[in-house]
Amino acid sequence: MSAGSTGSSLAFGQVVIGPPGSGKTTYCHGMREFLGCVGRRVAVVNLDPANEGLPYPCAVDISELITLPDVMESLKLGPNGGLIYCMEYLEANFDWLQEKLAAFRGHYYLFDCPGQVELYTHHSALKNVFAQLAKWNFRLAAVHLVDSHYCTDPGKFISVLCTSLSTMLHVELPHVNVLSKMDLIEQYGKLAFNLDYYTEVLDLSYLVDHLASDPFFRNYRRLNAKLVEVIEDYSLVSFVPLNVQDKESMRQVMQAVDKANGYSFGDQEQRSLEALMSAAVGADFHFASTLAVQEKYVQSQDKTVEEEVMDM
């Protein structure tokens, strides 16, 4: 029987990926608690050999197999080379992973992954791990976290779009891009456009024009235009806004992931037809969640302006 076997022979879950500091471990902790409240048995799998002081109970921990400090010390590698070695070592020890996962049959899995971007854009070790999990009847969706503060810098946002697109094409899993830390976005300044412009990745020519007003980026207008053209030609990238402390925000992300990995269409939970269809259609929940966050953001901006006027 495969490691992912349950009564229905399928196991569902999320692989949580993204750059360092994007909030992957915090997301896993929050999503574990949220899913527990809706009745799912959750097993969190830590695949980051550099993770220390985990805030959640860890069902499977790669540190039992290999740790980054040990690799760096014994092989004289830096952090990036060490992480790549750890992932290749995990790939070479699938039997260890299969045995560990088999102890949690019937659970919903959250895989907390390392934060090295190269692992998701062109290195093959983690991609092969995900492919092996699929062979073990795991139905996974990649949850790609991006810090929302990149929205406040058009140049960085174009870079994030390119990275997200490259990750989607390389990882080869159903994909949900998430703008994390939405509760902190107002700390980084006012957005050039409404929030839905960034979440839905609307006409990016406006972003290029906005960049062209900066003397530094004016010389790179043609480059930015070509990068934007590539992103729009694929037409794959969009984002779901997330505030881990907001239950409604967590529910919206959960619905997006459940639709992506197929959990919505299974029999793991009793659902009404209305609930199933709302998750299956999924066309308006992006708008609803974005609108809610946008409203909070606008109110915060209005309050800031009002305080500045009062101080004058």
Token look-up 């009062």 returns 310
Token look-up 């093959």 returns 124
Residue 279 domain flag: no
Q: Which residues contact 82 (CB under 8 A, 6 or more apart)?
A: 49, 68, 71, 72, 75
Residue 158 domain flag: yes
pLDDT at 127: 95
Residue 304 domain flag: no
Closest CA to 138 of 109, 113, 167, 114: 109
How confident is the model over 189-230, as pLDDT tens digits? 778 788 888 889 888 888 888 888 877 778 888 998 999 999
Distance of CA 28 to the CA centre of its chain: 10
Please state the rounded mean pLDDT for residues 111-136.
94
Query: Which residues is 45 bridged to in the sheet?
Result: 60, 111
What is d(CA 194, CA 298) in angstroms, rounded to the nearest whole number? 9
Please state the rounded mean pLDDT for residues 126-144.
96
Residue 310 domain flag: no
Residue 276 domain flag: no
How confident is the model over 235-249, as pLDDT tens digits? 899 999 999 989 999
Tokens of 40: 């799912």
Q: Are residues 34 and 137 in the same domain?
A: yes
How confident is the model over 22-77, as pLDDT tens digits? 999 999 999 999 999 989 999 999 999 998 888 999 999 999 999 999 999 999 99
Taking each helix axis from N to C end, the angle separating 68-75 and 79-91, rounded to the nearest 10 degrees, works out to 110
Q: Are residues 114 and 35 in the same domain?
A: yes
Q: Are residues 47 and 189 in the same domain?
A: yes
Q: Are residues 119 and 65 in the same domain?
A: yes
Please state the rounded mean pLDDT for residues 289-293.
55
What CA dihedral angle connects 123, 129, 134 and 140, to 10 degrees? Answer: -80
How confident is the model over 63-98, as pLDDT tens digits? 999 999 999 999 999 999 999 999 999 999 999 999
pLDDT at 52: 83
Query: Does the structure show a pLDDT above 70 at 310?
Result: no
Q: Are residues 247 and 122 in the same domain?
A: yes
Mean pLDDT of the chain: 84
CB of 264 closer than 8 Å to CB of 276: yes
Q: Are residues 23 and 87 in the same domain?
A: yes
pLDDT at 272: 40
Q: Are residues 89 and 226 in the same domain?
A: no
Buried b (16+ CB within 10 A) or exposed e, 100-134: bbeebeebbbbbbbbbbbebbbebebbbebbeebe
- Domain membership of residue 260 as a residue range: 11-200+238-265+285-295
CB of 285 closer than 8 Å to CB of 258: no
Q: Are residues 140 and 17 in the same domain?
A: yes
Tokens of 263: 């959990």
Residue 311 domain flag: no
> What single-letter DSSP state applies at residue 107?
P
What is d(CA 299, CA 293) in angstroms, rounded to the nearest whole number? 10
Residue 59 domain flag: yes
What is d(CA 179, CA 149) in angstroms, rounded to the nearest whole number? 9
pLDDT at 281: 47
**pTM of the prediction?**
0.82
Report the domain count for the chain.
Answer: 2
Query: Does the structure show a pLDDT above 50 at 282?
Result: no
3-state secondary structure 140-179: EEEEEEEEHHHHHCHHHHHHHHHHHHHHHHHHCCCEEEEE
Query: Does the structure show a pLDDT above 60 at 304?
Result: no
Q: Are residues 144 and 252 in the same domain?
A: yes
CB of 138 closer than 8 Å to CB of 41: no
pLDDT at 285: 43
Residue 271 domain flag: no
SS3 content of the chain, % helix, strand, coil (to 5): 55, 10, 30
CATH number of the domain bearing residue 26: 3.40.50.300
Q: Are residues 74 and 210 in the same domain?
A: no
Q: Are residues 72 and 178 in the same domain?
A: yes
Q: Are residues 139 and 231 in the same domain?
A: no
